[in-house]
Structure 1
Amino acid sequence: MRKKIAAYIFSLVLSGGVEATTLLNSSYDVSRELFTALNPPFEKQWEKNNPGDTLIIKQSHAGSSKQALSILQGLKADVVTYNQVTDVQILHDKGQLIPHDWQKRLPNDSSPFYSTMAFLVRKGNPKHIKNWSDLVRSDVKLIFSNPKTSGNGRYTWLAAWSASDLINRHNHLKIEKFMTQLLQNVEVFDTGGRGATTTFINSEMGDVLISFESEVNTIRDRYPQKGYQVILPSINIIAHFPVTWVDKNIRQNHTEKAARSYLEYLYTPDAQKIMTSFYYRVNNPKLMEKNKNRFPYTHFLKLEEVFGSWDQIIKTHFSSGGELDKLLATRHE
């Protein structure tokens, strides 16, 4: 009898007898586990508030910049949950898919959670890694994602540059020397954050994996037998994770209500509790205080004070002929 009922319901879905709404979330490379945990509670909430409407949330994951390009090339994502502002802004600048003031539509400049950069080292921390300055020693091999293709990699680059700027008292030549040695020590430049994690874990390459605090803590917890240790450097930056619905796509997909509700849900205490369980930081003082043991103190430098606007950051560091290209050329000499 149960099989017959299930078959009947399935046939109704196929024939349109039961309404179903599908959302596609285009997200960055290492957010799979987070949204796997976030989506089911919202799907249940939606179906409770919209009787007869089944909600299915699908995910698309890759490097943040690559994901944005896919949408510009026609991927009909309803919402984006990226790890840098520029990859959302380009949806307006290059495709007119969202309005110019998209950051004003949700709290905290449309960033419901954030992270920072941390190091994952092997059992016993054999290279005695404590801070950014240890990463430029000649005996240390690094794994982090390519700043050309990954927001994760860009934040790594900017955090290292910011630390060097402070250490070297704004001496540009010394900063470039520091960053050149950092690049020299990179064993593999994967295109995305999860690829870098796989290289470090499965291929057992590198002494240090540099990635989001959320990623390295999750990996440490997932492989307790490996004895990995997480090192949070004393100087760091905030990595905001901006979100928005894609206006042109939700109009075509008729998913306006679900898309907006989904992103608003990310700001709720229930959703943010899930985020902190995956070591993401949130703008909820009570929740952060409750989880203070999960989030050690680090001195945050403000990107805009070190580098200026994101437009200036891209132009100076990541555009063709910028600091990254210039120092990479030195690395290969």
Structure 2
Amino acid sequence: MFKSLLRVGLAVAVWAAASTAWAQSGPTLLNASYDIARELFAAINPKFVEHWKKKTGQDVRIDQSHAGTSRQAQDIIQGKKVDTVTFNQATDVDLLAKRGLVASDWRKKFPNNASPYYSTIAFLVRKGNPKNIKSWDDLVRDDVKLIFPNPKTSGNARYTYLGAWLYANEKFNGNEAQVRDFVARLLANVQNFPTGGRGATVAFAQNNQGDVLLTFESEVINIARGDEFKALGLEVVVPPVSVLAEFPVAVVDKVVDERGTRALATEYLNFQYTREIQLLLTSFNYRVHEPTVVKATADKFPSIRLIDPVKVLGPWDKISETHFASGAILDQLLARRR
């Protein structure tokens, strides 16, 4: 009898210990992000793990997936179980919303159009800026070769395309024929279209392709100042006018409801608006909204006039249909390269 009671007691103790360990260990969360965000989220995630532990006592694990955001969106549509998205293009979040995976009013779920931070498109050039690149006009010269990702797969590259379009739209007072010609000339100068931002960086900095790399200002500065390519003496050129590039975030409702991770996912995205993370974001050369951080880092970012695509071209649905859908303007201009 004593041995039976002892076995029962041990079983209960093991079950209790396992239950306590499970409760303390907590859930996991998968965040899907854009191609060049690896280092950023490698810095954010441990801080969130510490924050969650302090708040709940659970040892949560954050897993990351990185690729061009259009590819990420397609993977999620095809069944990839992602809890949150931290993208660099609103159209890819809208695509998830149309499939019922993300709330239709996702922009209202978090501050600043659900964009914790923002950037713009800038240029990275060779040491000494041998081609004397200063603005978008220089990118359509016959002697200049460009590198940026494929706009069909990369949100990063779609902002480059839109930056060129919006600049030309102002330059030519909305004359669409002239705008199309300008952007077509820019696309014709592209030497390589990697699928994502990281591939574009490798092509330019490691494989010595092109005269100018076009990518987010944050990435341009990180490449120029980082240890990996510091010896190349690459230089940053921020044009006087460029495109406003917001970085939208959203909870993937269908997945978090299946996995029971809604509270965790919501907290994870809200965490990116905290002063601690807003300050961290500026160390990766992203522009932020938190007023005290903006003031403290005002001299970090060059002055630039940013054009909001939505204010000029209409809502993102219209932009996507007009420019990026199959057979739309981007495809028409790419066809002129052949």
Flag whether TM exceeds 0.5 (same fold).
Answer: yes
Question: Match for residue 263 of structure 2?
Answer: 257
Structure 1: how far apart are the matches of 2:223 and 2:150? 20
* Alignment coverage as a number of residue pairs: 320
Structure 1: how far apart are the matches of 2:52 and 2:290? 24
1:220 corresponds to 2:221: no
Structure 1: how far apart are the matches of 2:154 and 2:262? 29
Structure 1: how far apart are the matches of 2:66 and 2:307? 29
Q: 2:84 aligns with which of 76, 79, 82?
A: 79
1:177 partner SS: helix
Question: Match for residue 201 of structure 1?
Answer: 205
Structure 2: how far apart are the matches of 1:86 and 1:183? 21
Question: Match for residue 317 of structure 1?
Answer: 323
Deviation per CA, 1:25-58: give whole Å up to 9, x if none: 011111111111111111011111212x211111
Q: 2:295 aligns with which of 289, 292, 296?
A: 289
Q: Report 1:107-256 matches (<5 A).
A: 107-222=111-226, 223-256=229-262
Shift of 1:12: 6.3
Q: Give yes or no for contact 2:273–2:290 (8 Å, CA) kept in 1.
A: no
Give the CA RMSD over aligned residues: 1.7
Q: Give yes or no for contact 1:12–1:18 (8 Å, CA) kept in 2.
A: no
- Letter of the 1:197 partner, please give it: T
Deviation per CA, 1:271-295: give whole Å up to 9, x if none: 1011000011111233122212221
Q: Give yes or no for contact 1:187–1:205 (8 Å, CA) kept in 2.
A: yes
Shift of 1:153: 0.6
Structure 2: how far apart are the matches of 1:316 and 1:97? 24
Question: Match for residue 3 of structure 1?
Answer: none
Question: Match for residue 23 of structure 1?
Answer: 29
The 1:48–1:17 alpha-carbon spacing in structure 2 relative to 1, beyond 3 Å, is closer
2:133 partner SS: coil
Question: Match for residue 58 of structure 1?
Answer: 63
Deviation per CA, 1:151-177: give whole Å up to 9, x if none: 001000000111111112222222122
Name whichever of 149-158 and 168-177 sits farther off: 168-177
Question: Match for residue 36 of structure 1?
Answer: 42
Shift of 1:18: 4.8
1:114 partner SS: strand
Taking only the aligned residue pairs, the percentage that are identical comes to 48
Unaligned runs of 5+ in 1: 1-10
Question: Match for residue 96 of structure 2?
Answer: 91
Shift of 1:121: 0.4
**Structure exhibiting the larger radius of gyration computed from Cα positions:** 2
Structure 2: how far apart are the matches of 1:153 and 1:192? 8
- Letter of the 1:270 partner, please give it: E
The 1:17–1:135 alpha-carbon spacing in structure 2 relative to 1, beyond 3 Å, is closer
Unaligned runs of 5+ in 2: 1-16
Structure 2: how far apart are the matches of 1:120 and 1:236? 14
Name whichever of 85-94 and 211-220 sits farther off: 85-94
Runs of 4+ in 1 over 3 A off after TM superposition: 15-18
Q: 2:311 aligns with which of 293, 298, 305?
A: 305
Structure 1: how far apart are the matches of 2:174 and 2:23? 66
2:129 partner SS: coil
